[in-house]
């Protein structure tokens, strides 16, 4: 379904990484044949805001009708992101 470098949209929050449904990221690694994905989320300045692992069920492809928007990632969210977000993974 998804491949490395695909742009995706989260369909659920990943609280452990400070990420919200609707955040847009890029797949940087495919786990277990597409069961889960390592996704990088960038700030508008190009710096990495978060990297998180998410199961395929929490992602959807970016659509031509999607519109991105900016939101502030608070300092607690930034710390969780640095600690590594894992969603639905054991």
Predicted pLDDT of residue 82: 56
36 falls within a domain = yes
Question: Of 17, 32, 35, nearest to 82 (Cα)?
Answer: 17
Question: Of 58, 49, 7, 57, nearest to 28 (Cα)?
Answer: 7
In percent, the amount of the chain with pLDDT more than 90 equals 71
**pTM exceeds 0.85:** no
Predicted pLDDT of residue 84: 57
1 falls within a domain = no
Is 70 in a helix, a strand, or coil? coil
20-to-10, 16, 23, 33, 80 alpha-carbon distances in Å = 7, 10, 6, 25, 13
89 falls within a domain = no
Angstrom distance (rounded) from CA 10 to CA 24: 7
- How confident is the model over 71-88, as pLDDT tens digits? 888 765 555 555 555 565
CATH number at residue 11: 2.30.30
């Amino acid at each position: 379904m998804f491949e490395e470098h695909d742009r995706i949209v989260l369909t659920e929050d990943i609280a452990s990484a400070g990420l919200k449904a609707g955040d847009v990221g890029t797949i940087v690694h495919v786990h277990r044949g597409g069961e889960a994905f390592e996704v990088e989320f960038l700030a508008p300045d190009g710096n990495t805001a978060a990297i998180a692992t998410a199961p395929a069920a929490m992602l959807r492809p970016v659509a031509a009708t999607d519109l991105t928007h900016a939101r502030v990632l608070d300092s607690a969210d930034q710390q969780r992101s640095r600690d590594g977000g894992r969603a639905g993974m054991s």
